[in-house]
Amino acid sequence: MKKVFSLILCLVLACSLTLTALADGFDASLVKENDSLFEFTVNSDEGIAFVDAAMTVRERSFTHPYESESYYSYVYSNLVIIDYFNSTSYPVWRFWVDYVGTKHIYANAVTFTFDGNSYTFTDVADTDRITDRDNGDGEEILLVVIGTDNVDFVTGLETYLNKLQEIDPDDAYTSITENAEVSMTLHGTEDFTVQLPSTFMLEYFLMRAAFIAGGDVASFLDKTVDPTPLKVTSVD
């Protein structure tokens, strides 16, 4: 995986620094050609596609005070490609928090903290995503959609990613997996903070790679976030 990751890194750096002509629609070639790093699924009925990192729930999981004995709680991000079968297709970048515990906390906000900065998102809950598992555990799924109102979050992630890569420019994979430190606070009937696995930053890198290689910067700018923070600013 590390070797393939390094090849992806080289490709993405080249794309982010040289991309001037924009493709029509979202180009999923990078994702489809690297199934050891990405999972690509299509919903033909709705005309959308999904880009996910090839990681397990366990790899993305975090522990908390109300641990379920049967299910993991985890964080992940992915891209949903709207109008996938049309030349107007564009990606929407989403971060998900799937909390499962022995009690509901009715979280309505989440804070991510890394590199000395904190980023809080409110209105991330939905009553349709507050349910009970078959063993009686409570499940709450929180959603953060990246848009023009949270550019600072993506800018912070990009800055931190660059710092991690600079630890060892020849081995970005190890630099990220061994040094990333990200915490998350869930705000509900009570607040608690958990440590996220280093795969949080690794997954950010992969989703960023899929977005940049997809090439449809113009549509992404119109629909969600200014792509400027996604440009690599420091490459040795």
pLDDT per residue of the chain (236 residues) written in tens, 0 to 9: 444 444 444 444 434 433 333 346 788 888 898 888 899 999 999 999 999 999 999 999 999 999 999 999 999 999 999 999 998 888 889 999 999 999 999 999 999 999 999 999 999 999 999 999 999 999 999 999 988 788 899 889 989 999 998 998 888 888 899 999 999 999 999 999 999 999 999 999 889 888 887 754 433 333 333 333 332 222 22
Is 107 within a domain? yes
Give the β-pairing of 130-132 and 61-62.
Answer: unpaired
Show the 3-state SS of 62-126. Answer: ECCCCECCCCCEEEEEEEEEECCCCCCCEEEEEEEEEEEECCCCCCCEEEEEECCEEEEEECCCC
Is 201 within a domain? yes
For the chain, what is the domain count? 1
**pLDDT number for residue 36:** 87
Is 163 within a domain? yes
Distance CA 209, CA 195 (A): 24
Which two tokens mark 8? Answer: 């992806």
Is 235 within a domain? no
The kind and range of the H/E element at 13 are helix 2-18
Is 129 within a domain? yes
Is 236 within a domain? no
Which two tokens mark 170? Answer: 């020849």
Distance CA 117, CA 174 (A): 23
Query: What is the extent of the structural domain holding 31?
Result: 2-230
Is 37 within a domain? yes
Which residues lie closer than 8 Å to 31 by C-beta, 6 or more apart? 38, 40, 51, 210, 213
Is 137 within a domain? yes
